[in-house]
Copies of this chain bind each other. A is one copy, B any other.
Amino acid sequence: MSVKTIEQLIEAKDYMKVKEVLSEMNEVDVAEILKPCDPHMTLLLFRMLPKDLAAEVFARFTPEQQLDIINSVTNRELAGILDELFFDDMIDLIEEMPANVVNKILLHTDAEKRALINEFLRYPEDSAGSIMTIEYVELKKDMTVKESMDHIKEIGLNKETIYTCYVTDQNRILEGIVSLRTLVTTNESFKISDIMESDIIKVNTHADQEEAANIFRKYGFLALPVVDKENRLTGIITVDDIMDVISQEATEDFQKMAAMAPSDEEYLDASIWKLAKNRLPWLLVLMISATFTGRIMGRYEDVLISVAVLGTFIPMLMDTGGNAGNQSSTLVIRGLATGDIELGDGLKILLKEFAVSFIVGLALALTNFVRLILIERVGILMSVTVSVTLLVTIVLSKLVGGILPIFAKRLKMDPAIMAGPLITTIVDALSLIAYFAIAKAMLGI
């Protein structure tokens, strides 16, 4: 059923049919249809939805829409929504709402849940704890497959996933994992202890969400258990949430590497002021640091005046250096993010970048030399000066680009800031110093 058809049905006020169609649809699509409607229409359509679908759609609304709904529905309706909401969506909601609305929400939760909410709100941002949920299936070692299946049949609809089940002891210590696939394909009389996997791969509540994402990617899991310091099971992370994390972490790295403050707001939704605010600080820092490059040029003003053609090669040298450094830093930053490169690989990277930069630099320098002689018809000495500087610049850029992200990570900074823009600024200065030094030696200025 297309969005168009539903809009037509709404316009025709055929609400019976609208209700029927919406009830059959995926919650993501329903949320998308309700998104552009005015608050009154949103509420009207929202109230038509079956209870469980309503909660799922509610979880996908923008905070503004959630606020509208909370302020418009009755207390009983609100209790119904909150009751159906998965715990991780509840936490997300509470984090976004103003204080008075949070109080209203907490009124509808019992003391035990409130304590749990407080515990979850304390997990650091971007930690495994901050993205986990508590609706998992818990089994005991001495249950049979039949008992487990009956248990799942009973509680399965209220769990975020039933496809991976967790075996815990009386102290909530995680002892094993059983997949529903194993349960379904095993003889009903078997004991859980016989079929559970005890080689458990898990993550700590305070681990970075990126660590959790890398585990998912490596093992292809559908869910990952999250344990506290005492190895007690406190929640699970599901693969649908981790896909958002993978995508969001990549987007943030793209933004940081392009010298912007990271933001998970979509470009088209973000206000002009917000976009400007994200972009200004780094541009300012980089602009001011670029003036040092200008100072270096200023110091060699007499050289530039006496051999003015020297100046015309500066853009090419600076750009190529920046590009070369950018290539190296990008590979290392991405490798660190996906876990392919580790902190101890610094020396390997330096050696590799040295070798690669020498090959690439030599190829570019030779091309450039031929071009200067044949096309630009510059003198031999000048051509040698520019080409040697090019080689030196490329080697320096790639070493700087390759090692600075590792350095940043060592200092517990985000490697992604050691990307193109900052590398370019550093490399600009280095290449100019090299250029003038080589020019002085070669041309005897």
Contact = CB atoms under 8 A, between A and B. Distances in A.
Interface string A188-219: 00000000011101000000000000001111
A385 interface: no
Contact of A360 (B276, B330, B348, B359): B276
A260 B293 CA distance: 26
Interface string A52-66: 000000000000000
A424 B322 CA distance: 10
Contacts of A331: 255, 258, 260, 267
A214 B359 CA distance: 39
B254 A243 contact: no
A26 B330 contact: no
Contact of A293 (B199, B315, B335, B356): B315
A293 B322 CA distance: 15
Nearest to A340: B266
A24, A149, A185, A282: which has the most chain B beta carbons within 10 Å?
A185
A275 B352 contact: yes
Contact of A319 (B253, B286, B332): B286
A428 B251 contact: no
Contacts of A428: 315, 319
Nearest to A215: B28
Interface string A145-180: 000010011001100001100000000000000001
A184 to B, nearest CB: 6
Nearest to A218: B28
A308 interface: yes
A381 interface: no
A338 interface: yes
A199 B25 contact: yes
B286 A338 contact: no
Contacts of A290: 315-316, 319-320
User: Chain A contact residues: over half helix, strand or loop, or mixed?
Assistant: helix
Contacts of A102: none
Contacts of A316: 287, 290-291, 293-294
Contact of A341 (B222, B268, B348): B268
Contacts of A301: 308-309, 311-312
Interface stretch (A111-119, A228-236, A362-370): A362-370
B297 A312 contact: yes
A267 B351 CA distance: 13
9 contacts: A24-B199, A26-B201, A222-B222, A254-B254, A258-B420, A259-B326, A268-B335, A288-B371, A301-B308
Interface of A: 1, 24-26, 28-29, 149, 152-153, 156-157, 162-163, 180-181, 184-185, 197-199, 201, 216-222, 239-244, 246-247, 250-251, 253-255, 257-260, 266-268, 272-273, 275-276, 279-280, 282-284, 286-288, 290-291, 293-295, 297-298, 301, 304-305, 308-309, 311-316, 318-320, 322-324, 326-327, 329-335, 338, 340-341, 345, 348-349, 352, 355-356, 359-360, 363-364, 367-368, 371, 376, 390, 394, 420-421, 424-425, 428, 432
